[in-house]
Structure 1
Amino acid sequence: MLLDVVIALAVGSFDAWVSLAARLTASGSIRPGPVLPPPLVIILFCSAGAVLLFRRRWPIRTFLIIWVLYLTPIAFPVLQPFMVLLVAMFTVSSTLGRRPAVWSLLATFVVFGIEIVNTAPVGVRANTWSWVIPTLVFDVVMVVLVWVAARLRYRFAHRIAGLERRREEEIRTAVRQERLAVSRDLHDIVSHSVSAMTLQAAGARAVMQQQPQRVRPALDAIEQTGIQAMSELQRLLQVLRSDADYVESTGAATRERLSRLPELIEQARRAGQRVELVVSGDPCDLDPSVEMTCYRVIQEALDNAGRHAGADVVVRVQLEWLPPRLRTSVVNGAGAARPGVRLSTGHGLIGLAERVQLVGGELETGPLPDGGFRITATLPVTRPSMDRTET
């Protein structure tokens, strides 16, 4: 606001000074006509400068008011419009679209043309044209340069605004991806741990009367599962509280996630599931995100089998190393779930499909003819670039 006040005072005073100086130096060489008194000249141009204070809020209205004020050369031949009108035109051309900018340029040419005609020397024709032509060229070049600078500023401002919008959209997209990653991990941790503890508790209750010696191992397994879940949740909270990127942090923390696959299968066996692990092919290095996805596929499939098929059904986990792909399949036969153990969030397979798709893989799920269920994920060994995953 202070800058606008300084500009308004400066250009208004400059135009008033130019007009007064022109009247003193050009007396007797201009066409006859009424002469505006110096106080009125000062009031006129200072008023025009004061109107500039509203140019940012109402650029077109400000320009029109100043344009009308500067039409006074029609009656008073010594007025010299210069800076105030140019500032008003610059504001319109640098903040509005092409049509208002062009109209402001043409309107400015009209006022400058009137000013040239009214202030042209009278007398010899040759002397008149020798004054008019240089003045006309100077005014046209000056107005065009100001207008072009305003349009360049307009384009630059719009380009900056577009980049800012794109940056904000990228930030929002990154935040959404972070939230999705957090929600997937929260689902995997909580769902797997709660399902395992529920199955173990149900198994302990089933054998409590006939085989009480099997209750203690089940309770120990419940305790270990709870401790592991709390450790995972604490790690998750530490990442969220830090400034590090969540996806990169969790990816680095789970680089050896498949090495914990025997531990996951043993945990399922302690919960009462009959799990078989079959590995074929030559293992190779995996991208951390792909490795984590493979682990989560097996984890969710085991949870799904425990909830819906029960403990007496064989669950076959198979890893097929087929570079550049890794095929993971979990198959369980038909069975009956334990009473009161059908716990599901309803988002397990949906979230799993999103996770697999995110790393460029494919997920196939569906029932088998014998009543069982199959979950198969085909994953790339290396994660594809973002351009490929978005197409």
Structure 2
Amino acid sequence: MAEQITAEERRPRARDWYLVVALGAGSAIFAALYDATGFWPFKVPLWVSCLASFVVAVPLVWRRRFPSWVAWVVSTIYVGAQFLGAMEPGVAQIAVFLAVYSVGAWQSDRRRAFVSRLLLCIAIFASLIAAAAVQWSNLGQLTVLQYAAASSISFLINIVFFGGAWVFGNRAWSQRRLMTELREANEEVSRQSRQLADQAIDLERVRIARELHDGVAHHIAGVGIHAAAARRSLEKNPEKARESLSIIESSTRETVDELRTLVHTLRDTEGQTASANRTTGNPGLGNPGLGDLPELIADARRAGQTIDVETLGTPRPLTPIMELSVFRVIQESLTNSRRYAGADAEVSVRLRYGVRDLEVEVSDSAAGPTAHQSVGTGLGIVGMRERIGALGGTLEAGPKSRGGWLVRARLPYTRNGATGTPAGTEATASASPAPDSAKA
């Protein structure tokens, strides 16, 4: 694992010195009690033993920065003081335990941590064997059995002592590693949340731009055409100019309604107001659907377009988002035909209800195959493709071989839509004449 301990975490702190003072004072008190009772034979003056009690604990201050070196220094001081008869055997052992524990808890190089503790344990057990050999030469009144029992107790205590320091040190390292991974995961989640929030803002901007383009641009284009017609016929044909101005007035009102609907939809975070307004029949609110197609076609015909509408197959219920997407595709296609192919171009709108999907075709009879490519940025086609693609469908848009332009969209039915297919539906769709193919 990569380095997970920062320099700040390794820096000595005030509580480390408090620990040294506590261990040194406790060891000195035990040394004084041992000396007073004569229970532990010291070979040095009491003040030397008390000084050794503090010296063995001081290196623990740097146990996080230099764990292996601290473990070796503390163990060496402890074992040396034991051989010299200057160290009490009680509290001072806690310093040795913390030193060995710190190697497992703070040594970043895990191989070095293993080797260091292994060699340290071997050295300490070698010192125990040496001490046992010295005691063997001074058995005194102890029998061999008593000596063997005492030596076994000493070895078992040290095995449990150093084994516990080893295990708990490794466990502390594992917990720190887990906390580091959790912290990194939390930071990654926070970073991704911020990124998703930024993406959501961008997507919302794209959505607003698409709705403005698909809804409002349709009416604005018609207003521009009729304004030009009114200007040209104002003197020669006032009645025609009056009709064009009337259409402009109607289109501007519809534009305001579209903007009001768009603003209301964007504010509707729960997404239920649109369906409620559709149920109550409020025409000023809610997203448009297939029920609004007759009005759309009528507006286009009033603008001078010749439109033929045909429905093939048996209509089935669609989701509101599918109806909105179909409506926008037809609306954008009619706007493009009026803008680029001309008002005298014949437009054909076909809805085919197949077994698995709904096919929408809008084609016109423009004079040339590149009429739609001569003007415009193509953002309308991009918006239509994004709408249809988001629902798992496909969209083709391009010139026809005989002249004109074709837009074909296929939308698969959702699972909560109608599943039954009346007999003859697919046959009707297949038997109907297909328009000229287009290249996307």
Q: TM-score range by the shorter chain?
A: 0.7 to 0.9
Code of the aligned partner of 1:152: L
Inter-partner Cα distance in structure 2 for 1:238 and 1:111: 75
Q: Does 1:146 align with 2:147?
A: no
Relative contact order (alpha carbons < 8 A, sep ≥ 6): 1 or 2 greater? Answer: 1
Question: Which stretch of the first structure deviates more once superposed, 295-304 or 145-154?
Answer: 145-154
State the shift of 1:298 in Å. Answer: 0.4
Of 362, 377, 387, the match for 1:355: 387
Question: Which stretch of the first structure deviates more once superposed, 211-220 or 114-123?
Answer: 114-123
Inter-partner Cα distance in structure 1 for 2:327 and 2:243: 25
Correspondence for 1:106? 114
Q: Tell me: CA distance 1:231–1:35, structure 2 relative to 1, closer, same or farther (3 Å).
A: farther
State the shift of 1:293 in Å. Answer: 0.7
CA RMSD, aligned part only? 4.0
Correspondence for 1:339? none
Of 293, 299, 318, the match for 1:267: 299
Q: Does 1:306 align with 2:338?
A: yes
Correspondence for 1:37? 51
**Matches of residues 40-51 of structure 1 in structure 2 within 5 Å?**
41=55, 44=58, 47-48=61-62
Question: Which stretch of the first structure deviates more once superposed, 309-318 or 320-329?
Answer: 320-329
Inter-partner Cα distance in structure 1 for 2:167 and 2:22: 22
Code of the aligned partner of 2:219: S
State the shift of 1:42 in Å. Answer: 9.9
Q: Percent of aligned pairs with the same residue?
A: 25
State the shift of 1:195 in Å. Answer: 1.0
Q: TM-score scaled by structure 1?
A: 0.73
Correspondence for 1:364? 396
Q: Tell me: CA distance 1:160–1:68, structure 2 relative to 1, closer, same or farther (3 Å).
A: same
- Give SS of 2:315's match: coil
Question: Which stretch of the first structure deviates more once superposed, 300-309 or 177-186?
Answer: 177-186
Correspondence for 1:184? 210
Contact 1:105–1:147 at 8 Å: present in 2 too?
no
Of 20, 23, 30, the match for 1:18: 23
Q: Tell me: CA distance 1:36–1:117, structure 2 relative to 1, closer, same or farther (3 Å).
A: farther
Q: Tell me: CA distance 1:167–1:116, structure 2 relative to 1, closer, same or farther (3 Å).
A: farther
**Matches of residues 49-88 of structure 1 in structure 2 within 5 Å?**
63-65=64-66, 67-73=68-74, 75-77=76-78, 80-81=95-96
Inter-partner Cα distance in structure 2 for 1:148 and 1:31: 43
Code of the aligned partner of 1:73: V
Code of the aligned partner of 1:151: R
The size of the alignment, in residue pairs, is 352
Code of the aligned partner of 2:204: E
Q: Does 1:329 align with 2:361?
A: yes
Contact 2:361–2:408 at 8 Å: present in 1 too?
yes
Q: TM-score scaled by structure 2?
A: 0.66
Of 204, 221, 235, the match for 2:230: 204
State the shift of 1:354 in Å. Answer: 1.5
Code of the aligned partner of 1:353: R
State the shift of 1:74 in Å. Answer: 5.1
Code of the aligned partner of 1:14: L
Question: Which stretch of the first structure deviates more once superposed, 209-218 or 68-77?
Answer: 68-77
Inter-partner Cα distance in structure 2 for 1:163 and 1:349: 36
Q: Tell me: CA distance 1:277–1:130, structure 2 relative to 1, closer, same or farther (3 Å).
A: closer
Contact 2:261–2:286 at 8 Å: present in 1 too?
no
Q: Tell me: CA distance 1:213–1:42, structure 2 relative to 1, closer, same or farther (3 Å).
A: farther
Q: Does 1:234 align with 2:242?
A: no
- Give SS of 1:76's match: helix
State the shift of 1:357 in Å. Answer: 0.9
Question: Which stretch of the first structure deviates more once superposed, 229-238 or 39-48?
Answer: 39-48
Q: Tell me: CA distance 1:311–1:127, structure 2 relative to 1, closer, same or farther (3 Å).
A: closer
Q: Tell me: CA distance 1:328–1:113, structure 2 relative to 1, closer, same or farther (3 Å).
A: same
State the shift of 1:273 in Å. Answer: 1.4
Code of the aligned partner of 1:368: K
Contact 2:101–2:166 at 8 Å: present in 1 too?
no
Inter-partner Cα distance in structure 1 for 2:351 and 2:268: 36
Q: Deviations over 1:329-360 (max 9, x none)?
A: 11111249xxxxx8734311122111111111
Inter-partner Cα distance in structure 1 for 2:96 and 2:350: 86
Long gaps (5+) in structure 1: 49-61, 94-99, 337-341, 385-391
- Give SS of 1:37's match: helix
Code of the aligned partner of 1:286: L
Inter-partner Cα distance in structure 1 for 2:14 and 2:122: 25
State the shift of 1:260 in Å. Answer: 0.8
State the shift of 1:222 in Å. Answer: 1.3
Q: Tell me: CA distance 1:130–1:343, structure 2 relative to 1, closer, same or farther (3 Å).
A: closer
State the shift of 1:323 in Å. Answer: 3.7
State the shift of 1:143 in Å. Answer: 1.8
